[in-house]
Amino acid sequence: MSTPSWRLAFFGTPSFALPSLQKLTQGPDEVVAVVTQPDREKGRGRKVVPSPVKEYALQKGLSLLQPEKVKEVDFQEKLKTIGADLFVVAAYGQILPKTLLNFPKYGAVNVHASLLPKYRGSAPIAWVILNGEKKTGVTTMLMDEGMDTGDILLQAEVPIHEDETTESLHDRLASLGAQLLSETLEMMKREKIHPIPQDPSKATYAPMLKKEDGHIDWTKGAEEIDRQVRAFRPWPGAYTEWKGQMLKIYKGEARKGKTTERAGTVLWVSTDFVEVETGKDSYLLKEVQLEGKRRMSIRDFLSGHPISVGAVLR
């Protein structure tokens, strides 16, 4: 027996949502509307840039809606007249109110980049790396009014590699999320899926990151600093201060061993790394970017910006 074709409204904004939208447009269902955040200013020139989801929707000629707030009456009326059977949400950026969730016949399915109920919130990928988790994954769930609190539909798990960055893990989970979404819709249509309530006692949170979260505290251990460097790549970036300028750290490595120097002190300068004292062990800087300059290897950086042993990073 063939499965029915559904009318879908897709809510998503950043690049994480793209593989899911692409998968839907290639499948048996009809994407009758794409809802994404309004265009925002980005970069140094504060140029107004459309979201990755908007760019794809325009390219495919899909019906596009960009409300400032999903509670706007005009927007809700437009969405209601579209008559979607199901809402699909992936990193949209706003919580959908109950009035909206009641529109579609089959409710709303969310694609979330963690193994719920762990890491509810807006930055689960960075926080699993920051906290030193060994595994993570993707969850599809039925949405309710809460922040990632709805019943779980399906989950898929992946290991977190030792050198994993938010950048690399993001891409793996985005692709996995698209596949899991496809399986979820197929199973929903066949009535082969059984939603499982989340256990709130096991819930943890992944709050939105702020620029200042990237500032390195050298009194922390080298392993923790390394996780911060990897978790905050590409944003907000892990950084320190050198000669009154911001120095972003893109790549480094923890090294065992402890001296009696003050945390943040440069212990050794090699052609391929700069060794810095931390609260526990030392940390080797391997790829950096000085304020206003391009990103480069430490070898290239040192050829134009010599760092002396005994200098203190703050």
DSSP per residue over 217-272, as a string? -TTSBHHHHHHHHHHTTTTT-EEEEETTEEEEEEEEEEE----SSPTTBEEEE-SS
| Fold type of domain 7-202 | Rossmann fold (3.40.50)
Query: Which pLDDT does position 3 carry in this prediction?
Result: 78
Q: What is the rounded radius of gyration, in angstroms, for the C-alpha atoms of the chain?
A: 23
From CA 91, how far away is CA 89, in angstroms rounded?
7
Closest CA to 236 of 254, 209, 257: 209
Q: How many helices (H) and strands (E) does the chain have?
A: 8, 15
Q: Are 227 and 132 in contact (CB under 8 A)?
A: yes
Q: What percent of the chain is modeled with pLDDT above 70?
A: 99
Q: How many CB atoms lie within 10 A of CB 1?
A: 4
Query: Which pLDDT does position 48 carry in this prediction?
Result: 86
What are the distances in angstroms from CA 37 to CA 33, 64, 94, 167, 310? 13, 10, 9, 22, 48
Q: Tens digits of per-residue pLDDT, 60-76? A: 999 999 999 999 999 99
Q: Are 186 and 179 in contact (CB under 8 A)?
A: no
**197-204 mean pLDDT:** 98
Which CATH number describes the domain made up of 211-304?
A: 3.10.25.10
Q: Which residues lie below 8 Å from residue 85, measured CB to CB, with a gap of 6+?
A: 6, 7, 8, 104, 105, 106
Q: In the chain, what are the domain boundaries?
A: 7-202, 211-304
User: Residue 306: is the preceding peptide bond cis (ω within 30°)?
Assistant: no
Query: Which pLDDT does position 76 carry in this prediction?
Result: 96
From CA 278, how far away is CA 62, in angstroms rounded?
52
Helix (H) or strand (E) holding 176: helix 166-189
The SS3 assignment for 292 reads: coil
200 pLDDT more than 70: yes
From CA 304, how far away is CA 84, in angstroms rounded?
59
